[in-house]
Amino acid sequence: MTENSATDRLAELSGHGVSIWLDDLSRGHLRDGLLADLVGTKHVVGVTTNPTIFAGALAKAHDYDDQMATLAAAGTGVDDAVIAATTDDVRDAADLFADVYRRTGGQDGRVSIEVDPRLAKDTEKTIEQARLLWSTVDRPNIFVKIPATKEGLPAITKATSEGISVNVTLIFSLDRYRAVAGAYLDGLELAQRAGVDLSGIRSVASFFVSRVDTEIDKRLDALGTDEATALKGKAGIANARLAFQAFEEIFSTPRWEALAAAGAHVQRPLWASTGVKDPAYPDTMYVDELVVDGVVNTMPEKTMRAVADHANLRGDTVHGTYEESRRLLDRLERLGVSYTDVTDTLEVEAVEKFDKSWAELADTVTAALARAGVAK
C-alpha cells in the first residue's frame, strides 16, 4: 500500500461528503507535528476530545510538567489547573485548524472541549461552564461539548441562544436525538429574537455507534439462539442510519426553513464511537457503512489509519437502508432486547465512564502539582 493510495481512500471518503475528524488530542501531538501532518496529508478537518482523552494525554507524557509547575507556584487549585491545561491545548489546536475553518466557511476546522461530566445532571452549572470554556478558549472554531442528558437539553438551548457553538455528545437513542435537534432549534429561535447572528452558530450531534453493538451483542449472546447470533454487530449501524433519516426529516420542515432563511446552519450528525470494539468485526465497518453526504465521522487514530489502508468504500451506504434498519430493531424487540433499556443503560454508563476519567484527570493533575511542591 503506497502512501498515495492510502491517502486517496481518505480523499475518497472526504469526497463523499464525510468530514474526517480525529478523536484524540494531546500536547505531544501538537508539538511533534503529528496533528499538523494529519491535517496536511490525511484530510483531517477537525478534532474531538473528552475527559478520557485528556486523562490519557496528561498521564502518559511530561509535556505538561512546566505548566503544572507554573500553576502550582501560583497556588492554582486542581479544577482550575485542569481547565488551564485542557483549554490551552484546545486553543492551540483551534489555531492549527484556523485555515481549515476559513476554507470551509466555518463548517469544519473545529475542536471540541467537554464540560465537566460531573455536571451532567445540573443544567445551570453546565450552562455556566459552557460559557467559561467558550470565553477561556476564545476561538470561533471550537465546540463546547454538552451531554445529551435530560438536564443537558435546556443547557444546549441556552448555550445556542447565546451564540455558543455546541457539540452535543452521548446520544444513543432516536428519541433523544430528536430532542437534541429540537433543543438546537429552540436555541436558534431564541438567538434570532435576541438579535444574535445565526450564521455564526454551528452545532453537531454526536450519535454513538459501536457502544450500541457492544451492549446489544452482550444481550444477544445471553439468548444464545441462532437468530440472536445472526443479529450481532448490526444494531449500531442501523440505529445511526435511522438517526440520519430523522435528521433529514427535522431539517426539511417549515420551522427549519424559516431559520435557514435567517442564516442558520443545520446541526450535522456526527458518528462517534467508531472504533470497533469486537475484533471479529471489520475494523473499518463503522466508517464504510455510514457514508453519506453531510456528516462527520470522528475516528481514533488507529481506525483512521485502517480506513486509509483498506476501507471498503462503496459510495452512499445510508440512503435506501431505512426500512431494513427499522426491521432489524423490530426483530431485536421481538427477541426481548429492549431498545429503550439498552439506550438508557448506555447513557448512564457513558456519564459514569467520563466521571471516572475526570477523576483520573484530576488525580494526574494533583500529582503533577504535588511534584512541584505546592499542591492545593
Q: Which residues are catalytic?
A: 145
Cell numbers representing residue 236 in the block: 449500531
Distance CA 178, CA 163 (A): 21
Distance CA 74, CA 160 (A): 34
Question: Cα torsion at 155, 157, 159, 163 (round to 10°)?
Answer: 180
Q: What is the DSSP string of 151-164?
A: THHHHHHHHHHTT-
Whether residue 48 contacts residue 272, with contact meaning beta carbons closer than 8 Å, is answered with: yes
Let me know how long the chain is. 376
Residue among 161, 174, 162, 163 nearest 205 (CA):
174
| Whole-number CA gyration radius for the chain | 20
- In the block, cell 439498552 appears at 342
Helix axes 174-193, 235-250, angle to 10 degrees: 30
